[in-house]
Structure 1
Amino acid sequence: MTHAWYEESVFYHIYPLGFCGAPEHNDYHSQNKERLFKICEWIPHMKALGINTVYLGPIFESESHGYDTVNYFELDRRLGTNETLKQLIKHLHQHDIRVVLDGVFNHVSRDFFAFQDLQQHQQHSIFTEWFCEINFQQRSPFGDPFSYEGWNDHFNLVKLNVTNPQVEEHLFKAVRLWIEEFEIDGLRLDVADVLNKQFMKRLASYTKKIKKDFWLMGEVIHGDYTQWANPDMLHATTNYECYKGLYSSHNDHNYFEIAYSLNRLFNQEHGIYRGLYLYNFADNHDVNRVASTLHDPAHLYPLYILLFTIPGVPSLYYGSEWGLEGERQHNSEHNLRPELQLESMGTQKHADLRAAIIHISYLRQQSPALQHGTYQQLFVASEQFAFLRQYEQEKIIVVVNACQQPVTVHIPIAVLGQTVLDLLNHRQCFQCHHGELSLEIPGCWGRVLKVLE
């Protein structure tokens, strides 16, 4: 069976403006500086991690943080030129790494050309229908002689009326440029949970005609993910339910939480998202680094075992493979989106985490069951958890232990086989006796066991 490329992806998420050390604000006048090429330096590191897809946060001309777009057709001058982006993507593709960009279609900067025309010409502007809730009977919080809708009451982010055919044409024209000239492989749709669903359906149809295997993923926090991830719309959404469960089940010494979510979502018989390849992550540009969220840093190890072995596709946020810390400050995400230098990352206090992730990532790459297999819970306790992934003839049992000390667990595997091979720990073999597998799990670690028939 042939699988889509994104079903076998391991993502690396980079926030380029921060990662590349770009100035915080765009003056619109400075010379373009090709900071984006810094990503090329990290390609050997990404390849070692098993990365085959890079997701780049917002990179087009913007006012400040990238989610306040000014021009959808030009790379942000703080990162380079359009030629910079073309060359970077070409270089990544030569190393078998696909590229997904941020599609920020819900809102734009106040410096966006159409909004500036609206400010200048007001009721006589030809762009009055490009934005939501324009009202010339009251003033905006910025003093404009009209009010408008901002995203989540952030009035520096002006909500686009994507149901307007002219707006859709403008955005789709940009998407065509990104696909045909830059040769991107997919888009992550910003705030997809509030983006017009009919717009996303038309976008899905449009991109599929240009590039048959083009991938669309939506940022969704709450709700039924199948409202967005379905045959007519998107391939996947962000899996915020399991993001929360990954850290809180460790902090609360309660694997029942993540076990409940995984069973509800992916159980081979009644899981509500079985067959969907959701986008799994431990942290990103909007939330605290997982190393800062966990009460016990040793839990980074079982957490990443889970991230790479549960159903869906795993994503690493740049720097977190070394256990980089960072917490959101009041009205600032700067600590979450830092500039990093590759040569200094080995000095991080959790620097040995990288080697563990490389090992786990390699196992995922080599295992069809971990990439595509069904999910079945086998055992759960407060600090130990085991499940089965099965695809065709391959059966993989994953066991994690959040306790500091080694713990012996007893896993029922009556119909699976008689011998298991530990792929994670020196290829040790264990025997099943009387329909039960009893084995010791190292503290704050786990086992990835291949069932031998």
Structure 2
Amino acid sequence: MSIQQDNEYSTPDWAKHVIWYQVFPERFCNGDPSNDPTAERLGMPEDWEISPWTGDWYEQAPWEKEYSDTFRKSVYKRRYGGDLQGVLDKLDYLEELGIGGIYLNPVFDAVSLHKYDASYYHHVDRFFGPDPEGDAQIMEQEDPSDPSTWQWTSADKMLLKLIEEVHERGMRIILDGVFNHTGTDFWAFRDVLEHQQDSQFKDWYAVQSFEDPSDPESEFLYDSWWGVKSLPALKEEGKTLVAPVKEHIFEITRRWMDPDSDGDPSDGIDGWRLDVPEEIGKEFWKEWNELVTSINPEVFTVGEIWTKKSRKWVTKDLFSSSMNYPFTNAVIEYMVNESVKASEFLKELRNLRRQFPKDARFVLQNLMDSHDTPRLASMIVNSDLEFGEETKPKEGFKVRKPNIEERRVQRLIALLQYTYVGAPMIYYGTEAGMWGADDPDDRKPMVWPEHEYDPEKEHPLDKERPADDNNFDRQLFEWYKKLGAIRNAHLPLRIGEFQELAVDNARNHFCFARILNQKMFCIVAINRSDRTQKVSIPLSNFDIPENNHLENLVTGTRINVKDEQATLTLSPVTGAILSPENR
């Protein structure tokens, strides 16, 4: 396979040096209990209440049992009160972890817990800020179709404060852009729902038929995202969104990228993660890309592309990067399912790298889990399931906490994730020990060291299970923290070229280098086997220090180099990161 080139492709240099952290705001931290969501907003009875942050995830509250005797139906009506104050409160934690970039799942005003069903794009969710009632009043005073009437709510100002504090720490922040669909509570859709064909916004949506007052059998039908009627699809023409929708999205793009509208984007967000971009024509994204780069030439844009087609979207006129799910799949196949050999794994990584322009490889978001997948820990526990396979709790699915051996696999995966080409992205809580199947179990409240959590002993299928301790995993956190410090301190791990050095299928280990030049490099050795192994690493192409030593950055010990070769002993399911001392 030939190496793909795109001489005009470019990406902001800063994006090559960050470790990303994905925050699901409603479940990250409740920094301000006074702004918690209300039963009225959710359309729930008065006995509805905020769920306890430290409770057993599968245990249903009395109101839940009245709503439904099935956990999976009532759980979506839960709220835990996570907000932007909570994100602000935990910036020290993220900085300690070595994080350089924050990706926020949708923060715009919406009824749901996930916020992919926007009510407004130009306002932050009212319950993410300090004054939900006041914010609602401001929204009612505006004409949402006229940007000249837009004001700044308390929640909007809280986001601007978060942006400022993130930037003061030398970190970056990107928002989730959901431009394929809105919620049924979206201001324009509400008008269409009320006025039908007489609505001035009727052309914003792909309406199939309107209600006819003279025909009682008539229905209001419209296209929606994957047939989910709570997510009506915005209308397209000519491979782009219709003009009024496009202009509205352009306006909110300007609002969050340059809040002061003064031509200085330093007080705005640093980029966008784009939800389901393949479901909107490329002509829209080309126009949108032209806009965002004109506002901020250093903007970073990343598409949610799950397949190897992502190469077609990472170009000079579309996106800077993509969420690297093909990487995730390859790692799961080798490290978790153990369905491929080490050489086959390296070949797959090689093929994935070669698809992209050189600079793009350094900014691909290398994630292992997200709000759309099972937690990494639960993928390891359920290693018989392939990545992308249905993983909601069902007969045979293990909802338990990982054991020591399974945590060892997670630690090794993290070592690879932090040393491979691309930008590691950690889903909130993975570093703290969280586990769970896919939605909704991948969206549990974050475990924090200052809280004591109830043991997880209930089962979604009402089966017997051992009680699992569900508290913050300090040892695992320290491991991710160490890996972050190593990556941030060693330039080759961020922008060094990748070179395979050795692979042994029979003994199931391999090693590779990240190289800037003969003197500046890091070498990574991976032992995936369940046996202690001696690993020999050829070093003839490297300038070894005069003392003939390399430092193992993981253990802080020296590794001798003899006859242009380093030999080290690796315990089962462990790895090493070697570097010339004092370089």
TM above 0.5, one fold? yes
Residue 432 of structure 1 and its aligned partner are, at CA, apart by 3.9
Does residue 1:97 correspond to 2:145, yes or no? no
In 2, distance between residues paired with 1:412 and 1:421?
16
Q: 2:571 aligns with which of 415, 439, 442?
A: 442
Aligned pairs for 1:24-423 (under 5 A) are 27=41, 35-64=83-112, 65-80=114-129, 81-132=155-206, 134-136=208-210, 145-161=219-235, 163-181=241-259, 183-253=268-338, 254-266=341-353, 270=354, 272-276=356-360, 277-295=363-381, 296-328=406-438, 332-344=439-451, 348=471, 350-382=473-505, 383-392=508-517, 393-418=519-544, 419=548, 420-423=550-553
* Larger radius of gyration between Structure 1 and Structure 2: 2
In 1, distance between residues paired with 2:449 and 2:288?
37
| Runs of 5+ unmatched residues, structure 2 | 1-10, 31-35, 45-80, 130-154, 260-266, 382-405, 454-469
Task: Between 51-60 and 414-423, report the one with greater CA deviation.
Answer: 414-423
Residue 68 of structure 1 and its aligned partner are, at CA, apart by 0.4
SS in 2 for 1:249: helix
In 1, distance between residues paired with 2:122 and 2:40?
16
- The Cα offsets for residues 415-448 of structure 1, whole Å up to 9 and x where unpaired, read as 2245433222214132142x54332123322111
The answer to whether the Cα contact below 8 Å between 2:254 and 2:295 also exists between their aligned partners in 1 is: yes
Residue 41 of structure 1 and its aligned partner are, at CA, apart by 2.1
The answer to whether the Cα contact below 8 Å between 1:103 and 1:188 also exists between their aligned partners in 2 is: yes
In 2, distance between residues paired with 1:224 and 1:396?
31
In 2, distance between residues paired with 1:257 and 1:76?
46
Q: TM-score, normalised by structure 1?
A: 0.89
Residue 156 of structure 1 and its aligned partner are, at CA, apart by 1.1
Distance 1:39-1:308 versus aligned 2 partners, 3 A rule: same
In 2, distance between residues paired with 1:315 and 1:265?
18
The answer to whether the Cα contact below 8 Å between 1:219 and 1:237 also exists between their aligned partners in 2 is: yes
Read off the aligned partner of 1:308 and give its amino acid letter.
Y
Residue 103 of structure 1 and its aligned partner are, at CA, apart by 0.6
The answer to whether the Cα contact below 8 Å between 1:217 and 1:236 also exists between their aligned partners in 2 is: yes
SS in 1 for 2:410: helix
Distance 1:258-1:79 versus aligned 2 partners, 3 A rule: farther
Task: Between 340-349 and 70-79, report the one with greater CA deviation.
Answer: 340-349
Distance 1:97-1:415 versus aligned 2 partners, 3 A rule: closer
Distance 1:34-1:429 versus aligned 2 partners, 3 A rule: closer
Distance 1:169-1:342 versus aligned 2 partners, 3 A rule: farther
- The Cα offsets for residues 163-188 of structure 1, whole Å up to 9 and x where unpaired, read as 21110110111111111226111110
Q: TM-score, normalised by structure 2?
A: 0.70
SS in 1 for 2:488: helix
The answer to whether the Cα contact below 8 Å between 1:323 and 1:349 also exists between their aligned partners in 2 is: yes
The answer to whether the Cα contact below 8 Å between 2:270 and 2:299 also exists between their aligned partners in 1 is: yes
Read off the aligned partner of 1:90 and give its amino acid letter.
E
Read off the aligned partner of 1:177 and give its amino acid letter.
R
| Runs of 5+ unmatched residues, structure 1 | none
Task: Between 236-245 and 349-358, report the one with greater CA deviation.
Answer: 349-358
Task: Between 404-413 and 90-99, report the one with greater CA deviation.
Answer: 404-413
- The Cα offsets for residues 113-146 of structure 1, whole Å up to 9 and x where unpaired, read as 22122222222322222123534499xxxx9823
The answer to whether the Cα contact below 8 Å between 1:17 and 1:59 also exists between their aligned partners in 2 is: no
Read off the aligned partner of 2:359 and give its amino acid letter.
G
Q: What's the % identity of the aligned pairs?
A: 27
The structure with the greater share of residues assigned to strand is 1
Q: CA RMSD in A?
A: 2.7
Residue 275 of structure 1 and its aligned partner are, at CA, apart by 2.6
Distance 1:179-1:89 versus aligned 2 partners, 3 A rule: same
In 2, distance between residues paired with 1:445 and 1:25?
49
In 2, distance between residues paired with 1:56 and 1:83?
16
In 1, distance between residues paired with 2:275 and 2:364?
16
Higher relative contact order (CA 8 A, sep 6+): 2
Provide the aligned length of Structure 1 versus Structure 2. Answer: 439
In 2, distance between residues paired with 1:132 and 1:340?
42
Task: Between 337-346 and 73-82, report the one with greater CA deviation.
Answer: 337-346
The answer to whether the Cα contact below 8 Å between 1:389 and 1:397 also exists between their aligned partners in 2 is: yes
SS in 2 for 1:152: helix
- The Cα offsets for residues 174-210 of structure 1, whole Å up to 9 and x where unpaired, read as 1111112261111100112323211111111101111
